Structure 1
Amino acid sequence: MIAKLKQFLQSHSQAISPEDKAKQLNLAAATLLLEVVYADETFNQFEIELLPQMLMDTLGTSQTQAQELIAEATKVRGNATSLFEFTAEINEQFSLEEKQQLLLAMWRLAYADGELSQYEDQIIRRTSDLLYLKHSELIQMRNIAIQQTTSD
């Protein structure tokens, strides 16, 4: 029974086209970035304006694709039960450098309004753990984000 279920799931996951798989991956990353924006429950204009740029920089999307991802991520985010749903896909597909860039984008969003809330910090740290990043990488990306934020 379990073998049949496993076979069924594998056959359906292989049926996804590479374009759809890339879209799912981008959606997972966009949803994680959106989690940071929503974390402190205050919608800061700086964060909202920075989000599309972070998607373009991190995922290499166009402005239009970034806006579409944000709209779709907003819908998906409401139905999510945990961050693991998004990080599992990213762990399969992203390189270490891509994971670090995603984490850097999360930190930049968190610091966009000039202050870091405990909820933003929690989400980023939890995401870092789920992406199997070292604590030193987490701190390094945070320091880079702070440096970039103060120089902007």
Structure 2
Amino acid sequence: MFDAIRDFLARLGDGDEGRRPARESPELAAVALFFSVINADGEVTAAERSMLRQLVARDYAESDPEAAQLLRQAEEAELESVDLYGFTRVLNRRLSPDEKTHFIELLWELAYADGVRHELEDHVVWRIADLMGVDGRDRVSARQRVATRRDQASPDAPGGQSTETAKSGDGTG
């Protein structure tokens, strides 16, 4: 799973010539959106932070100091942001439709990192998917793939269908 994520994120920076302004960096935009998801429910768990650090260290940074710097910059950018559009705009210019759907799947990985799909995290993923032009069917399919992987990895772990339905209302989104 992490190999696919690493390959995907590595492609975000392919073809960049020269230095981009920090706000135009696809890496910064992606990580800021990751923060938007894990911050949505008002509680950032150790599991969410750990998964976020793993994603950044494996896929965005060549060193621990570089990962730490990107995390700081992205968290600051997300806190200063008034909406999600600025970040999704950067990614929309870089990603194909399939890559956008895969990115939504990464967001679901973070949303499920603590074992529970919270309705506020669900809403943020839905909004990002909408801004990136990922239709509802693809967004739900991405969520279901993540939930299935989590259930297969640990059938008794929280985050399965019954838990997500209870936390998100009707369980359809």
TM tier, smaller: 0.7 to 0.9
Aligned-pair identity in percent equals 25
TM-score in terms of structure 1 length = 0.79
1:52-98 deviation per Cα after TM superposition (whole angstroms, max 9, x unaligned): 223356x5544534332211011111210110010011101112232
Residue number in structure 2 paired with 1:20: 20
Q: How many residues align?
A: 136
- Ranges in structure 1 where 5+ consecutive residues have no aligned partner: 1-15
TM-score in terms of structure 2 length = 0.70
1:83-142 deviation per Cα after TM superposition (whole angstroms, max 9, x unaligned): 001001110111223212221111011111111111100000000000001111101110
Rounded Cα–Cα distance in structure 2 between residues aligned with 1:78 and 1:139:
27
**Taking structure 1 as reference, are residues 140 and 77 closer, same or farther at Cα in structure 2, changes over 3 Å only?**
same
**Taking structure 1 as reference, are residues 146 and 62 closer, same or farther at Cα in structure 2, changes over 3 Å only?**
farther
**Taking structure 1 as reference, are residues 51 and 134 closer, same or farther at Cα in structure 2, changes over 3 Å only?**
same
Residue number in structure 2 paired with 1:5: none
Residue number in structure 2 paired with 1:75: 76
- Where does 1:106-125 land on structure 2 (aligned, <5 Å)? 106-125=107-126
Secondary structure at the aligned position of 1:116 is classed as: coil
User: Root-mean-square deviation (CA), in Å?
Assistant: 2.3
**Taking structure 1 as reference, are residues 53 and 130 closer, same or farther at Cα in structure 2, changes over 3 Å only?**
same
Contact 2:27 2:60 in 1 (8 A): no
Runs of 4+ in 1 over 3 A off after TM superposition: 16-19, 59-63
**Taking structure 1 as reference, are residues 126 and 63 closer, same or farther at Cα in structure 2, changes over 3 Å only?**
farther
**Taking structure 1 as reference, are residues 73 and 120 closer, same or farther at Cα in structure 2, changes over 3 Å only?**
same
Secondary structure at the aligned position of 1:20 is classed as: coil
